[in-house]
Amino acid sequence: MDQEVALGSRGRPYRTLRAQGFEILVGREAEDNDFLTFQVAEPHDVWMHVAGGVPGSHVVVRNPEKVEIPQPVIQVAAAAAAWYSKARGSPRAEVHYCPVANVSKDERAPAGQVEITRWKSVHVQPGLPAA
Q: In the prediction, which pLDDT does 10 show? A: 57
Global pTM reads 0.89
Q: In the prediction, which pLDDT does 12 show? A: 79
Neighbours of 14 (CB within 10 A): 20
pLDDT in tens, the chain (131 residues): 333 334 445 567 899 999 999 999 999 999 999 999 999 999 999 999 999 989 999 999 999 999 999 999 999 999 999 999 999 999 999 999 999 999 999 999 999 999 999 999 999 999 997 76
CA distance 11 to 8: 9
The DSSP letter of residue 57 is: -
Q: In the prediction, which pLDDT does 45 show? A: 98
The ranges assigned to domains in the chain are: 14-124
Q: Write b or e for each residue in 81-113: b if 16 or more Cβ atoms lie within 10 A of its Cβ, otherwise e.
A: bbbbbebeeeeebbbbbbbbebbeeeeeeeebe
Q: In the prediction, which pLDDT does 7 show? A: 43
Q: In the prediction, which pLDDT does 131 show? A: 61
Q: In the prediction, which pLDDT does 65 show? A: 96
